[in-house]
Structures are given as C-alpha cells and as structure tokens.
Amino acid sequence: MALQVWLDGRLVPEEEARVSVFDHGLLYGDGVFEGIRAYDGIVFRLKEHLDRLYNGARVIMLDIPLSQEEMTQAVLETIRANGLRDAYIRLVVTRGVGDLGLDPRKCPRASVFIIAAGIALYPEEVYINGLRLITCSVRRNSPDALDGSIKSLNYLNNIMAKMEAIRAGVPEGIMLTTDGYVAECTGDNIFLVRGERLITPPTSIGNLPGITRGAVMEIAARQGLEVREELFRLASVYTAEEVFVTGTAAEIVPVVEVDGRPVGAGKPGPVTKRLLDGFRELTKTDGEPIYP
C-alpha cells in the first residue's frame, strides 16, 4: 500500500504529495520541522515536540494554520492511516508559496505536511559496540546569527559537517562553537560521563534543546546522577569516562572513539547502558496513544 502523507489538511498517496517550486521552504529554507518517534502505539513526548515547533514558528513569525490540538490530531491521523505502531514522523511547516523574492509577506499561507514511516538510523550492533566520531572543522552557527533553539529547514551547517564526517569514514561528527567549545554533533546532542556526573553543553551556545536530551537528563537525575550543563572543550571529551550522543532517531548511542582516541575503556560504559535501558522503559508510557 502506498504511504499516506498528510498535506495541507488531507491525506494523499506519497506520489501525489507535492509542494510548489515557489514554496519558500524549498527556495530559502524558510520554515520549521520536527522529527518524532512512535513506540508500540505511543507517540513519545508529542506535546514537547509540538511545543518546540510552535515556539520556533513564533520566533520566526510563522503563523501555523492549525492549533496545537489540531496538529496533534493530524499527526495521529497520519500514523493511523499508515497502520503503524512504531514509526518515525517528520512534521514540516513551510512559509508557503510566494514569489522569487525573500519577502515572507508574499506567502499568504503556511504549508504543513506530515510523513509517518519507518526509520533505522543505526543498526543494533552500534548500540552494542559504539560509535567512532571525529571533530568537524565546520563550526556550529553562532547563536548571534541564528538561534539554535529553532529547528529550521535550513540545515546546511549540519550537512556540511556531516559530509566531513562521512569523508572521514565515520557516521557522526562533533561540531564546535566559533570559540572552540563543544556544541553538539551534526544530528545529535552530546553527553560526557565523569564518575557520578553527567555533563552536556548548555543550549545557550547555539545547540538544539533536544527532546531526547531532556528525557535523558531527567532519567539520569532519577538514577542518582548529578546532571550539569556546562561549557567544555575537546580535552574533556578525550578524557571522559564515557561519551554518548542522543537524538530522536538515534535514541542514546555510546561513543567509543573520538579523533582516534579511545573513550574510557574503548567500549560502551555502564552508565550509558543504564540510561538507554531507562529511556526505552520511558518510551513505553510517556506520550500520546495513537489508537483509542
């Protein structure tokens, strides 16, 4: 059966799901999006994802033509239409159709589309054996230029860094701020473990306030770990006892090597495993049921 895509108020087969070449999301990356996961009939933290979507839209003065409750129902309807219980959902809001100029006033109505399908970012052996990372020369956008809390359609900064990681033969790379602090990875947030402390960069330096990141910080606190948001440089990554990355698609992935240096014992550590187990338990109950 063809995938059903929610497009501006109606479900259409994927081959009919088209946007205009004059859409400013395509022409200028003008819009916001969310990547969301469903686990066994529950959309994990859908409210938090939609809060971030609507907050980002407010910042860029983008009027979403659905209320948040209507958007919730549109997401659930799309998943149901595809008969899914486990899914990756991509929700996109563009500025809409305009002319070839930059002026957003020429776009009378935003466009919304929702895709619900399967995804497997990393194979299971990565969670068992861990990831190798490099540090990318491409720096994270300065928050003085573009607020990192906005999950915008303009991902070129991350894509350039991702290309560098791929050329180095690794699936992910660390991005630094313009003044050399660790910010995030190309598609994930990053955490260090030191004893009973969990450390992650603050979002104020331009990295995304990830939904999985927030969940991990809550789980860690419940497990008795001290959770800190603080600045650190690469030397702290190289000397950490454990390193892991988090993201909606990735969940929690252990890191075993950075820039050719083994992390800790060079294998996934016990704190990372404990947090991953806690996260997978959380996804069973924390979210919006798809089916009544």
**Tokens 């969670």 -> residue:** 127
Q: Give residue 82's Cα distance to chain centre.
A: 23
* Catalytic pick among 47, 106, 151, 267: 151
Task: Respond yes or no: is residue 267 known to be catalytic.
Answer: no
206, 141 in Cβ contact below 8 A?
yes
Report DSSP state, residue 223: T
Distance in angstroms (rounded) separating the CA atoms of residues 204 and 278: 27
> What DSSP element (H or E) covers 160?
helix 156-167
Collect all residues with Cβ–Cβ distance below 8 Å to 281 and sequence separation of at least 6.
none
Q: What is the DSSP letter of 180?
A: S
What one-character-per-residue DSSP string does 72-141 give?
HHHHHHHHHHTT-SSEEEEEEEE--B--SSS-GGG--S-EEEEEEE---SS-HHHHHH-EEEEE-SSPPP
Q: Provide DSSP, 40-53.
A: TTEEETHHHHHHHH
In three-state secondary structure terms, 31 is strand
What number of other Cβ atoms are within 10 A of residue 214's Cβ?
Answer: 16
As a whole number of angstroms, the distance between CA 174 and CA 234 comes to 9
CB burial of 141-173 (b: ≥16 within 10 Å; e: otherwise) equals bebeeeebbbbbbeeebbeebbebbeeeebbbb
Angle between helices 46-59 and 68-81 (to 10 degrees): 130
Question: Which residues are designated catalytic?
Answer: 151
